[in-house]
Amino acid sequence: MTTFVLVTLKVQVFMSRQILDKIEYLVLLVSEFAARSRVSEAEAYRYLRKYGALALCSKHYNIMHTLSVEENIQTLRDYCQRRGGRL
In tens, the pLDDT along 22-64 reads 889 999 999 999 999 999 999 999 999 999 999 999 899 999 9
User: Mean of the per-residue pLDDT values for the chain?
Assistant: 86
Measured CA to CA, the distance from residue 4 to residue 77 in angstroms comes to 46
Q: Give, in degrees to the nearest 5, the angle at Cα 57 between 79 and 84.
A: 25
For residues 18 and 78, what is the distance between their CA atoms, to the nearest angstrom? Answer: 27
**How is residue 60 annotated by DSSP?**
T
Which has the higher per-residue pLDDT, 61 or 10? 61
**Would you place residue 5 in the very low, low, confident or very high pLDDT band (cuts 50, 70, 90)?**
very low
